[in-house]
Structure 1
């Protein structure tokens, strides 16, 4: 599916020809695999938020459940093929709706780049790719949540504050 993206429709500018097919030397962008449990996927997410303890069996069960929800979860990772470690990831969650003629809404979630690889435009690449993917799968809108200090970053891709408040009720940390 990544090969079908209309990269000419991108809104952000990239240095050094960075693209989904060429994220950088010894780097590969691709969908999440079950084997990524052993490539540091959960540790990478831990640089974003609390992950907790997740055994391989729990990971496998969740991975399988998400995979069965066809056309709902698109999890991209960036792998350093030299070290075989994951150094970036982001998720597009596609919600099925009744509104907008039974349309779909896309949500960008869990964007993180390993601290040692930041500044290489990988976060930009992940967000731009998921934004174009949302367009490709015919989402009527895309949204995301971010901290105030990240608003300018996401505006680069055409996202804008919509004046609504994001509210949350947490049951667990």
Structure 2
């Protein structure tokens, strides 16, 4: 699949206006200096993932979490369009430093359609990451708060995430609690 025009490059995974509609006053945590969805910091913009973000370092950002070394632009485009076609399911949210045209943070809210609980929906937070040199600016906290509020706005009955044991205190600030269910994994490819 080739990308030939600028309009295609600016295609969003979901409509970023959805983020601006969130009542940030309901955030489970507080932020200093007026940090918010509409004001993440000087020269920073929070928005939906766009096709152009491949060239702005999105895959390199994700490499801080796991192996992304063989992800080509064609693979990215194919996955982006597949995710976009799953309406109301994927909310990959990024923070761009407009002074460098670089994606410096991101997180994804995934929505699962359920038959349980009167056909409810469940949210899952994935791939929370902040570029190392931008850590300490509360961007991870901002992303998590935003996606927590978005999951409530969308009507999720439950929101979950997986994290390293060292990160439990961070997520507890948002009301997450360790659960008695056991997390198990079966990998079909090497890490």
TM-score (norm. length: structure 1): 0.98
**For structure 2, which runs of at least 5 residues remain unmatched after alignment?**
1-17
- The answer to whether structure 1 residue 46 and structure 2 residue 63 are counterparts is yes
Map of 1:119 onto structure 2: 136
Map of 1:103 onto structure 2: 120
CA distance in 2, matches of 1:141, 1:117: 30
- Of 32, 55, 61, the match for 1:15: 32
Map of 2:75 onto structure 1: 58
Deviation for aligned residue 1:75: 0.4
Deviation by residue 1:31-67 (Cα, 9 ceiling, x = unmatched): 0000100000000000111123111111111000000
SS of 1:39 mapped into structure 2: coil
Deviation for aligned residue 1:3: 1.3
CA distance in 1, matches of 2:34, 2:182: 37
CA distance in 2, matches of 1:167, 1:15: 38
CA distance in 1, matches of 2:68, 2:115: 32
CA distance in 2, matches of 1:135, 1:19: 17
Deviation for aligned residue 1:88: 0.1
- The answer to whether structure 1 residue 129 and structure 2 residue 146 are counterparts is yes
- Of 61, 68, 88, the match for 1:71: 88
Structure 1 segments, 4+ long, off by >2 Å, are: none
What is the number of residues matched between the two proteins? 173
CA distance in 2, matches of 1:27, 1:48: 22
Map of 2:8 onto structure 1: none
- The answer to whether structure 1 residue 159 and structure 2 residue 179 are counterparts is no
SS of 2:47 mapped into structure 1: strand
